Structures are given as structure tokens and as C-alpha cells.
Amino acid sequence: MYSVSRETFKNSTITFGSIFNGEKFNANDIHESEERLDNREMIIKDREKSGLFTTEYLDKLHKTLISFFDKFNLLTIHYKACHAIDEWYNEGMDSTEMSAWKDIFCGGESLYYVFKDSNINATKKESLARFLKAIKSIEDKFQEERTKLLPGLDKKEVKLAFESVNTKAFQIGVFMALDIFRADESFDETYESFFSKMNTLSEKDWVYVLTTFRGRLMPRGATPKLWPVYQKLILRLIQDAEHPYYSQDNFSASPDGKIFHESIETSFDAWYETNDTIDEETMSLQTVKGQMETWANKAKQEVEELFKPLGKSIIQAQYEKEAASIVEQLIKEVKGK
């Protein structure tokens, strides 16, 4: 059960029905609870239907969702690092570290988070202190092993990349992208080719995408409203002649366009804030004509530099025209203040 806006409820039910459309369970088995202001709750009222939903999910989506953890190449680095800790367990851990690895790390994440609780950490018991030290030792060793598998990268950026992978934002973004990629085919028929496309980027590429690139697209973090940014980024990175998701026609909707837009906006704001002679009432595109080409070239270069480490080119577009459209809107906003 979860709460959604009215329009989202309608759209979600339609999407849900396109996936779960069997005779025993389908979108008609999803209902609204009592209306609560601007939100509605999506629920399955019939307990028997809830069980049928579980069956349908296992049949239609479970294998696809689990495939993320099996097929995505960056996660193989994580698993190899886990194997290295297993080898350390067999060869060099002390008794406290062995107990911590077996009972906490391999025994379920709930125990791990209990020991990470600040109140636990504040206690002074010697036995607990040894256990916490062992946990820290294993974490440090694991991060070292994981970073060694990505030579040339530092531990901090590798850790940040895997923290991004572990978020709802990224994982939902992956399957939102898969939903577009599959078009009219089923998830089951398309997920392997989808992950093959994702894996055309190397593990190092994904670390770059999930740190430097992500930072440009989501500088203030991946709030729920920004989760679709991951979808757009993944589609942009896997697009080819067969799957041309972004082009000149929808440049402004692409990750390229978003970064281009922000660069133009930054240049405009700097010009506006430092120019005391501007007459806001008569400001127009003609006012900034001399700067427009410079701003467009600078923005394009920033996007090109961001894509260059991935061996990809910026989408070809009419950059000055795009810049003019952005600036025209910014001028309207200034005049409307």
C-alpha cells in the first residue's frame, strides 16, 4: 500500500494493468482507499487476490528484477571483493573478526545496522568495543579489495559509486529505462539485451557515471522527483541507431540538454549580476546578442568534456538556437520579478 497523487494513481493503474493483465489478477483488483486530500492509496483489498498478485509477480517480474544483481557488470566487482573477504576469513582473520563476518555481514543486514546504531557505538563495554573494531576492520578491508579491482580509481569515489547503485533512485531508474527499452515486448524477452547494452560501459565508466556525471545532473542529491533523471541518463548512455532515444528534436529533454541549459543559465546569471547598466524593462535577446555565441560554445564544451571519458559525443543540435530559447525564458523571468 502506498500513497500517490490523483493523476499518478490513474497513470500507475494503467501502467500496472499493462503488466499484470492475467485472468486471475489484473489492474481491476487494485482499488482506492478513502480519499485523503490530494492523495489516494493504492491497495489490494481481497486477501486471496494479494496471494494471486504474488504469484503473478513471481511469474512476470521477479526474474527480471533479480537480474539487475546478476547481470549488471559493476556489481561483479562487489561480489569479487566479498569473495576476497571470504578468503581472508579462511586464512587470516582473528576470532572476533571471524565472528563478525559470519554472524553480522553474512547473517543479515538487520544485525549490521543494529551495530551501526549511534547508541550502541556510545557504550563502553570492552567486548562490544572489540566487535565494533572488527566490523570497522572488515569494512576497511572490503573497500580496499573492491578498489583494487578498479585500478586507477580511489576508494572514496568507488565507495560513492556503490552507494549510488544501492539507492532506490538508481535501481528504480534502471527499471524505468528497461520499461522504455522493452517497447511492446515483455520484460522477460528484453532484460538480457538491456543489461548487455548497459554493460557496453565498463565498470570504471559506471563509477564515473555514478559520481562525476551524476553530480552534474543531480548536484543536490537524488530526491524522488529527480529519480527519472537516472532513467534518462541510462537511456542516453545505451542509445544507438536501433534505439535513438534522444536527438536534435528532443535535445532539451536529454541529459545533454539539461547540462547545456544549466550552463547557459549560470552564464546568464553571472552576466546579469555583474552588469549594473542593464535596463530590465528594455532587456531582450538583442541585449545579450554579443554574449550568446560565447555562452553556447562554453555550454557545448562543458557537455562534450563530460561525455568524453565515456567515448561518446554530444547530441548534435542547433546550439545557438537552443541557447536563445533558454535566455529568452530567463529574460521573461527577470522581467516578471
Contact 229, 215 (CB under 8 A): no
Judge if 28 and 96 occupy the same domain.
Answer: no
Sites in the chain below the pLDDT cut of 70: 1-13, 32-42, 108-110, 116-124, 337
Judge if 144 and 110 occupy the same domain.
Answer: yes
Judge if 281 and 305 occupy the same domain.
Answer: yes
Specify if 172 maps to a domain. no
Judge if 55 and 87 occupy the same domain.
Answer: no
Judge if 255 and 332 occupy the same domain.
Answer: yes
Specify if 242 maps to a domain. no
> For the whole model, what pTM was predicted?
0.85
Specify if 292 maps to a domain. yes
Task: Determine if residue 224 is left, alpha or beta; phi over 0 gives left, psi from -120 to 50 gives alpha, anything else beta.
Answer: alpha
Where in the sequence is the domain holding 77, given as residue range(s)? 72-153
For 30, the 3-state DSSP assignment is coil
Judge if 54 and 91 occupy the same domain.
Answer: no
- Which of 60, 86, 110 terminates a domain? The answer is 60
Judge if 51 and 103 occupy the same domain.
Answer: no
Question: How many structural domains compose the chain?
Answer: 3
Specify if 301 maps to a domain. yes
Query: Mind listing the pLDDT tens digit for each residue in 101-113?
Result: 888 888 766 677 7
Specify if 178 maps to a domain. no
- Which of 153, 180, 205 terminates a domain? The answer is 153
Judge if 121 and 55 occupy the same domain.
Answer: no
Judge if 42 and 85 occupy the same domain.
Answer: no
pLDDT at position 308: 97
Judge if 49 and 106 occupy the same domain.
Answer: no
Specify if 263 maps to a domain. yes
Judge if 8 and 48 occupy the same domain.
Answer: yes
- Which of 153, 181, 204 terminates a domain? The answer is 153
pLDDT at position 1: 32
Judge if 148 and 113 occupy the same domain.
Answer: yes
